[in-house]
Amino acid sequence: MRKAVFFDRDGVLNVDKGYLSRVEDFEWMDGAKEAVAWLTKEGYDVVVVTNQSGVARGYYTEEDVRRLHDWMCRQIEEAGGKVMAVYYCPYLEGAPVKAYDKKSDWRKPAPGMILQAAADWDIDLASSVMIGDMPRDVECGERAGVPSYLFEGGSLLDFVRKVVKEGKCRETI
């Protein structure tokens, strides 16, 4: 089985600007690309799990989300890292776009995206880590059986090294 680091996207890999859908608005968090490159060298698979309710709200399309994620993954590869997969949830109960107005077990804090990734890629959840910037991210990881950590800013590379190497920065809900 594989070990992975699951990352939330907005507020962890990129600056959270609210409903990000365009490459030209994307701004990397300090040390984000370097953190993924370091994890890749350390033998971890990297998976991104992100709520994208902007689709359900009609702010952008799933194609916009995929285009941004493709660009993001290419940028990480150019920095020496690899994102194995990106899972996103476009659904939101009560959303104005009716096709996306539904409850989904992929919407964090539900653990569906992590559980699907584990099934798809043979990931050992107990040997993996979830890093997010919101309590719902930590709850999602914990509900999936993944040790989970709250990232509150600073260098993502430094934070990831501490979490992986020393098991520090643990957040309990």
In sequence order, the 6+-apart residues with CB closer than 8 A to the CB of 98 are: none
Q: Are 55 and 65 in contact (CB under 8 A)?
A: yes
For 58-76, the pLDDT digits (tens) are 999 999 999 999 999 999 9
3-class SS of residue 49: strand
* pLDDT 10s digits, 2-34: 999 999 999 999 999 999 999 999 999 999 999
Q: What is the span of the domain harbouring residue 23? A: 4-166
Q: Is 137 annotated as a binding residue?
A: no
Determine the pLDDT at residue 165. 82
The whole-number pLDDT of residue 68 equals: 98
Residue 83 lies in a domain: yes
Residue 18 has a CB neighbour count (10 Å cut-off) of 8
Tokens of residue 57, six digits? 């709200």
pTM for the model stands at 0.94
- CATH number of the domain to which 135 belongs: 3.40.50.1000
Tell me how many domains the chain contains: 1
Residue 172 in domain: no
pLDDT greater than 90 at residue 168: no
Per the annotation, does 133 bind a ligand? yes
In a domain, 149, yes or no: yes
Residue 135 covered by a domain: yes
Q: Is 122 assigned to a binding site?
A: no
Using the Cα atoms of residue 91, residue 151, residue 45 and residue 14 in order, give the sign of their dihedral: positive
The catalytic site residues sit at 8, 10
Whether residue 40 is contained in a domain is answered as yes
In a domain, 104, yes or no: yes
Q: Mean per-residue pLDDT for 95-116? A: 98
25 is in an annotated binding site: no
